[in-house]
Amino acid sequence: MFVWSYGKTIFTSPASPSNEFCLSKADKEQYEKEERPESQQEILRRAAKDLPIYTTTASRAIRYCDRCQLIKPDRCHHCSACDICVLKMDHHCPWVNNCVGFSNYKFFLLFLMYSLLYCLFVAATVLQYFIKFWTNELPDTHAKFHVLFLFFVAAMFFISILSLFSYHCWLVGKNRSTIETFRAPTFRNGPDKNGFSLGCSKNLREVFGDEKKYWLLPIFTSLGDGCNFPTRLVIMDPEQVTVSSQNEPAKSSGANQPFPPTRPLSESQNRLLASDSQWVESGPEDENVKSGTKKHIIVSLES
C-alpha cells in the first residue's frame, strides 16, 4: 500500500482547468491589445459571467493567469515548477517531484499515512535489538551499528512525517489547502479561510468520497471536478446573488466590478449541502462570518 500510494502520488498528473476557462480567440486578442487594466478586467468579467467562480483577487479583480492564458477557477493556482495551473493546488512537493492538488491529494495523504505506519513498524521491530545494544547484550559485530542506524532513521522519519500528516489532517478537517492557510481566498464579503468548509464530516467526504470502503485505497474517489467547489458563503438563490452583486459598489479602482453570477450547483455539491443549514464548524470566527454574511445579504437586497 505504501508503494502503491507513493506511485500514484508521483505519476498522477496534476489536473488543469477545462477549456471553458480559456478565453476565446477574439477575447484573447482584444485582451492583449488593451493596455488599461480596467478594460482588461471588463473583458475578463464578460468571459467569466457564466463560469462557476466565487473568489477574486484581493483587489476584487478576476483571477487570470497570463502564463496559461485562462481564467483561474476557485482554488486554482499556477505552479512555477510545473508551469501549469493546477486545480485546488496545495503545494509542489520535491519529495514526489509533482504538484499535490485535486487529482492526487488523497494519494498524498495515504502516502503519508502508510509511510508513518511503515516507519513505526520498522522502529518497533528493531526496538528489542536497540535495547540489547545499550545493555551490551548484543553480540559484538558490525551489525549492531546497522541496528542503531536503522532505529534512529526510522524514529526520525516517524516524528517528521507525523507532524506533516497531522497538519494535513487538520487541513482536510478545515477544507483548506496549504496556500489558503497562508493566503485566505477572497469572496464577496472579503477574505475567509473557512469559506469552503462545510463541516468536518463533509470536508472528509469531499476529499475521500462517499464510499468509506475505498477511503484507505489509493484510487480516486474525491467528489467534484476540481473546478467548482461548494461554499457556505454563497448558498442562496442565484437571482439574489445577481441582484445583490449588481447593487454592490466595487472596492477597487473606483469602477463597478460586479461579482460573477453563480450557476446551479452540481449533483455532488447538492449532495454535500443537502439537509444542512448549519455547519459543524464553530467558534467566534465562524459565527462572525455567518452573521456578517446574513447582514450583507439583507442590506444588498434592500438596496
Which cell numbers hold the place of 19? 477549456
Taking the CA atoms of 162, 10, 16 and 25 in sequence, report the sign of the dihedral they define.
positive
Does the active-site annotation cover 85? Answer: no
Active-site entry in 68, 79, 82, 93: 93
Please report, for residues 42, 131, 254, the alpha-carbon distance to residue 18 in angstroms, rounded to integers and kept in the order given: 22, 57, 32
- Which burial class, exposed, middle or buried, applies to 132 when counting CB atoms under 10 A from its CB (0-12, 13-18, 19+)? middle
Name the residues annotated as catalytic: 93
